[in-house]
Every structure is written in structure tokens, then in C-alpha cells.
Structure 1
Amino acid sequence: MIRGLRVGITQRHKSVLKILVYLLIGAIFTLYIVGNTQSTDSIIDNLRAFQNSLSDSRSNDFIKASLAPKRKNAAFVALVRNSDLKGMRDSIRQLEDRFNRKYHYPYIFLNDVPFTEEFKRGVQDLASSNVTFGTLDSESWGYPPWVDKQKAKDIWEKADYMHSKSESYRFMCRFQSGYVFRHPLVQQLDYYWRIEPDVKYFCDIDYDPFVFMAENNKKYGWIIGFSEYMATIPTLWKSTKEFIDKNPSYVAKDNALAWALNEEKVYNGCHFWSNFEIVDLSFYRSKPYLEYFEYLDKSGGFFYERWGDAPVHSLAVSFLLSKDEIHYFSDIGYYHPALGYCPDDSDKKGKCVCDPKKNTGKNFVCTKSWVDLFGKK
């Protein structure tokens, strides 16, 4: 019902705008015929000014979104803290300048505590589209009942790697692995584009990645392939292999496991750096993925070890999807604090400002092995 109403409003706005444009053209033409001294260039300037007034006015966001090229039911989604305001504003500015000023996809911000009014105003000021805010429940952000909290914390005390003693980091990894797509604000979407604070996009994105994925049957999109620190996931492959052995029918034909496994058929740590991912959410909501996440969750590895959502997503993508359903966005220049990626020759041509010497993502072993196996597609 609501979707149908939205379509009706969109068509009505299109009709009204067409009528206004035709009336303006007719009025200007009439004045010209009866002796108006305006030059042709001046008439064209007036038309352009009228067009710009429609596209630049912040009050016309709804009309702009309706008139944008065909869009998908999609949004940018971020799990952030109130303290991330500055970094999130930087990322929104980048996204708006490079892409969203033309497409006006909405933003969804999630937090384990309510957002402050300062945070809300700060991100809304920069967004060209609708912004919504949500909080997480105790099921998605916390310990499941089968995890022994004291056992987990005793293990953390002996661990020595990044975030080894962080409870909230483990909550985050579990949430991103199995719950983000189930949040009420995200549940209504068909696609999401994960965004993070302090991110840079080096290149203009002159097409809609959501539409591209839909039209080409792509389920998962990535930019940087990286190697996981194996001390954080010592039993992840063991649990994954057990799941595969119990559910052989879930393994996709022509899958991408060759990228994720070494010569001994053991997980090599390669993963898609999930701080950037564009996903057809029907994949995460599919029975095989949900059962895979539940199997991992019941093992306790998110807490007794430090399983990241990136290797979890990547292993799932590698064996549940066909390699042709996975897309390497090699044309999108991207930087997340510490690591970046530049498209080929983007320091010499194209709509990029990118230094390949500093942003060497395409030279990472896992990215190179993907290209060697499957090419850039």
C-alpha cells in the first residue's frame, strides 16, 4: 500500500514538473516572438537556472530522489557511536560529493545507545536524503545465553592481539555477522552499502552500484581483499568445515572456495574487508546463511576467540555463492584508516584523486589472488 502510494506521488511530481517546464518554455518563446530583446543565450541561461533551482534546492530532496535515475530499495547503513560524529560527517561529505548528490539514497545509523541530538543534527546537515536512527536490542548486542562469560574473559586475559580484551568489539563482530540485516530499519531494504567513519572515496561514481548489482545478478560487492590475523580465528575453519560437511547441498556450484583455501584445503585467511561491502540482503537472509551463522554462533567463537565479521562473511560468500555472483568493484577508489585502494592509472586519468603509491590495495596478496583466479569482474 505504501509502496504504491510512493509510486503515485512520484508520477504526479513528474507530470507537474513537465507542465511547468513546458509553460516556461512557451512563455519565453512567446516573449521572444513579440519582440523581447533577450538573446538566445539569455533564454538558455534562464532555462538552465530553472533546472538548477530544481536540482539544488534542499527543500526539493523528495522530488530529486523521485526524478533520479532508476533506484533500488537500498540505503547506506552504519554502526557507529556518538563519538564518531566528526568521522561520520567526513564520510558523508565524501559520499555526497562522489555519488549520492545525484542519487539521494537514504542513510541508516545504528548504535547500542540512543543517538544524541548533536549527532543527529550533525549528520542530517550533510545528507541530501532521508536519515533515520536506530538502537540495538539485547539479543543482537550482548552475550547469547550459551556463552560462559567468565570463561571468555579468562581467555581474553591471556590473548595478545588487537581488540583481544574488548567486549564491545566482539559484540560488534557478532552483530555485523548475523543481525545487522535483521534490524527493523534494515529489514525493509533489498540492498545495503556499509559505511564507516573516516572513509574516503577517491573517484566519482557515475553509475548506481545497486542497479549494477541487480541487473548483473551480483549478490556481494567488495573492494579490498586482505589477510586475517589467524590468531583471532584458530577454529573458524574447523567450524565452517563441519557445517559444510553436514550441509553439502548448500555449497554453490562454481563457487569461490579456491580463493579462500590453501593447497591443503584449509582456510588461508583471505577475506573481503567488510568495512566496505554492498550486499543483496536476500543473501544474508537466506536459509543457508542464517543456518551457517547460527552454527558459528552456537560454537562460541565470537567470544572465546575473536571471529571478525569479515572472515565470516567471506567464507560464507566463498562457498554459498557462485563466483559470478561476487563483484570486485575495481573502479571505486576507497580508503579506510590505514589501508586504501586506487583503480589502475587513477593518478593519471579519470575522475579520481588517488595516489597508487600510498594506496596499494590492489597489491595485497588476497586481492591479487582473486584477480589471478577470476579476473576483474
Structure 2
Amino acid sequence: MSLPRGMRLLALLTLGLFVYLLVILFRSPSKLDTPTGFPKYQGDFRDPNYEPTGEPPEPLRRVDGDNYAPNNPKSARINATLLSLVRNEEVNDLLQSMRDLERTWNHKFNYPWLFINDKPFSEEFKRKTRAATKAEVRYEIVPEDHWAVPSWINDDLYHESVEILTEQNVQYMGKTSYHQMCRWNSGMFYHLPALQDVRYYWRVEPNVHFFCDVDYDVFAYMQDHNKTYGFTINLYDSPQSVATLWPETEKFIADHPEYLHKNNALDWVTDSATRPEHNLKAGGYSTCHFWSNFEVADMEFWRSPAYEDYFAHLDRAGGFFYERWGDAPVHSIALGLFEDKEKIHWFRDIGYQHIPFFNCPNSPKCKGCKTGVLTDGEPFLYKEDCRPSWFKYAGHG
């Protein structure tokens, strides 16, 4: 006896679903099966963060008894500080950054914090930040002459430039304070009186995240291994924001060829293979730069004649205001030209996020980020990663 029509349809649907599940289960993986967030790079680049990540080479200095205790007058701490340019209203975002860095690293080593503002810090800011660390905390105000718009900047030209570049979607172009901050971070901060006797700094911005336990003294690593600069993230910049930065740099190099280091990273600075449109719009500059919201650095480099002369040249050219030259490309070009590229270190073991980008290594010491994922934003953001170019020309550091 035949089955009713409804039952026959149900049987057919069940059989079809079963066959579909078998196909899904046994079919060969396709490119569409790539895990969410896996880097969609051109060529055969595979993010080294997918490989197991350990600590950098010895020697590494570690906590031994009370050698890094906060009040130990003979502590093993070297001449260094944590550094943050921050406003009063950013205190809660800063506390997020402090809690992460204290939990993963500084509660062991107790390096001092130095907070800097262009206005006096509020008592609320001081109370909350002091409560977030056992280490020494200091508060400084940017000198007025450091923050002021230079006298040689033409106000009419500045406002005309703002209008033009705002139409080209150059972010923050209309904020004078942003231009002032970029200039100060590029060539003024290390002249702060409170930093005159300090050599190394770790820059920490509000609302960033640190994911990995770090069990060695990061500053001592820089000193012991003769490193000048440490980064986590390496990106392309907006070429419209730095259109004349490289032409001005070429003028400077023509006048001072003696400053070029024989083991420089010029190929990285001028690479045109991966993003040729960037190189073209930026006058020969790749726009690659170390994302300076995270940087661990030796201020002796910024205080060197090469960098001081370079910054003075750029400052007079006016691009911090007429364009939007940031401290990241300025620092990066200078490092790429005037420093030994072997002295620039990728801190692959330090898990870090500044929205929307990550550095997330493959390590059991890391929690809260996804291994190897560059961004949790749109997939097109993967093309902003310049690490493949850095690794090509300079290695992993």
C-alpha cells in the first residue's frame, strides 16, 4: 500500500537533508573555509603570529625576590618610564590601559608612570591613577611654547589646507589640537624637563588593551640587546595626509647624506610593490609606519643630531599643519633612514590592541585575543598591514 502524499514529501525532504549533510561533512575544504579573521594577504605571506611564540633571546632580566619592589632604593629597574599624553576626561579609558599593563607586566616590575597634559590634572584624575598602581606616579604639564602653533605657520594657508584635505577625507584635519599633538609627539616630548634624565620610555595611550603575561624587564631587554625602538603593529598611512613628507625628506637627505645609516631600511620606506598607489600619491614614500600608540624607545635616538636636524627641517616646512604629518610616519622614516634596522624590534610576544588593530601571538601566556587576527573590523583592513614589507626588508627583529 502506498504512503500518503504528505509522508512521501517528508521522506524526500529528510533524505535530501541527509545527503546535504554528507556533502558538507566530506567535501574538501575551500578558500571560503578559512577561519574568520585569517589574513587575506596577497602572495604567500603567513602571519608569523600563527607560529608558537616564546620570549625574545636571553639575556632577560626577571623578578628575583624584591629586586623590582616598588620602594626598593637598589631596585633592578633601569632609567625608564611609562609615558602617557592624556586629558582629564580620558581618565576612565586610561585606567583600562593601566589595569591591563599592570596586570600583565608592571605589577612585577613597578616602573614609574608619567602622565602629561596640556592642562593641569584634576584631583579625580590623580586619585584614580594613583590607586591603579603601586609604582611611582608623576604629573606634568606641557610647556606652552611646546604646544603653541609655530609663528611661521600661515593661518590663511592652514585653513585653506584644512578645507582641501577635509574634502579628501583626511581624518582629524580640522582639529588644531590634533596637529599640535602630532608635532609635539614628533619632536618636542623628549625635551620635557621631567624627561631630561630619562632614557627609555614605553608609550601607553587611553583605551588600549594588553593580553599577554610578560615575565621579563622590557626596558632592560632594549638596553641589553642594544635596541633603539620596539613596535607591535606596522601599517600604511593615508597618502593624502603625508603627500609632501617624503619630498621634504629627500631635500633633507640631499643636504645631509652623512646621516644615512649604512644598514638602513630605505627599501621599506620607499617600497612600491604592494601599495603602488600609496607610493605614487605620497611622492615616493610607501606610507609604511610603526603604529606609535605603542612604542618602546631609546630617547637618545630622538636627541641625536640626525633626528633633531630632521625634525627642525620638517617643522619649518609646515607639514604638521598644512598636511597631517603624524609622529608615526615621522618617527618611522627617521628610524628607517638614520638607524641600523637591526636595532628595531618587533615585540611579537606582547599582545596588544588599539582599535581596530591587534597584535595577538600564539602563546599560552595570552588571553582575550584571537591568535593571528590583525583586526576585528572589516576584511579590507588587512590590506593596511605593512608587516609583510618590513619582514621582507628587515626580518623579524
Match of 1:116 among 113, 119, 122: 122
Match of 2:389 among 365, 369, 377: 369
Counterpart for residue 302 of structure 1: 320
3-state DSSP class of the match of 2:115?
strand
Q: Report the Cα offset of residue 164 of structure 1.
A: 1.3
Q: State, as a whole percentage, how many aligned pairs show the same letter.
A: 39
Does residue 1:145 correspond to 2:151, yes or no? yes
3-state DSSP class of the match of 1:133?
strand
1:248 partner amino acid:
P
3-state DSSP class of the match of 1:239?
helix
Match of 1:226 among 223, 229, 235: 235
Match of 1:317 among 313, 318, 335: 335
Counterpart for residue 128 of structure 1: 134
CA contact (8 A) 2:182 2:320 kept: yes
CA contact (8 A) 1:199 1:334 kept: yes
Q: Report the Cα offset of residue 362 of structure 1.
A: 9.1
Does residue 1:95 correspond to 2:95, yes or no? no
3-state DSSP class of the match of 2:116?
strand
CA contact (8 A) 1:342 1:362 kept: no
RMSD, matched Cα? 1.9
CA contact (8 A) 1:87 1:197 kept: yes
3-state DSSP class of the match of 2:128?
helix
CA contact (8 A) 1:224 1:362 kept: no
CA contact (8 A) 1:335 1:341 kept: yes
3-state DSSP class of the match of 1:159?
helix
- Matches of 1:357 and 1:284, distance apart in 2: 32
Q: Matches of residues 152-301 of structure 1 in structure 2 within 5 Å?
A: 152-160=158-166, 161-263=170-272, 266-301=284-319
TM-score (norm 2): 0.76
Q: Report the Cα offset of residue 216 of structure 1.
A: 1.0
Structure 1 291/198 Cα, relative in aligned 2: closer, same or farther at 3 Å?
same
2:241 partner amino acid:
T
Counterpart for residue 355 of structure 1: 370
**Deviation string for 1:158-192 (max 9, x for gaps)?**
32221010100000000000111110112220101
2:224 partner amino acid:
E
Q: Report the Cα offset of residue 202 of structure 1.
A: 0.8
3-state DSSP class of the match of 2:71?
helix
CA contact (8 A) 1:96 1:128 kept: no
CA contact (8 A) 1:230 1:269 kept: yes
Q: Report the Cα offset of residue 120 of structure 1.
A: 0.7
Structure 1 127/180 Cα, relative in aligned 2: closer, same or farther at 3 Å?
same
3-state DSSP class of the match of 1:91?
helix
1:145 partner amino acid:
S
**Deviation string for 1:39-83 (max 9, x for gaps)?**
xxxxxxxxxxxxxxx97xxxx7313x744xx32100011111101
- Matches of 1:296 and 1:74, distance apart in 2: 28
CA contact (8 A) 2:95 2:132 kept: yes
Q: Which has the higher helix share?
A: 1
Q: Report the Cα offset of residue 359 of structure 1.
A: 3.6
- Matches of 2:154 and 2:108, distance apart in 1: 49
3-state DSSP class of the match of 1:193?
strand
TM-score (norm 1): 0.80
Q: Report the Cα offset of residue 350 of structure 1.
A: 3.6
Q: Report the Cα offset of residue 302 of structure 1.
A: 0.5
Counterpart for residue 330 of structure 1: 348
Q: Report the Cα offset of residue 95 of structure 1.
A: 0.9
CA contact (8 A) 2:265 2:393 kept: no
- Matches of 2:202 and 2:177, distance apart in 1: 22
3-state DSSP class of the match of 2:337?
helix
3-state DSSP class of the match of 1:340?
strand
Q: Report the Cα offset of residue 370 of structure 1.
A: 1.3
1:376 partner amino acid:
H
1:373 partner amino acid:
Y
2:238 partner amino acid:
Y
2:286 partner amino acid:
N
1:107 partner amino acid:
W
Structure 1 88/225 Cα, relative in aligned 2: closer, same or farther at 3 Å?
same
Q: Report the Cα offset of residue 372 of structure 1.
A: 2.4
2:147 partner amino acid:
W
Q: Report the Cα offset of residue 127 of structure 1.
A: 1.5
CA contact (8 A) 2:210 2:351 kept: yes
**Deviation string for 1:112-169 (max 9, x for gaps)?**
1111011111111101211111111222101111111232022212322210101000
CA contact (8 A) 2:301 2:307 kept: yes
Q: Which runs of 5+ in 1 are unaligned?
A: 1-53
3-state DSSP class of the match of 1:140?
helix
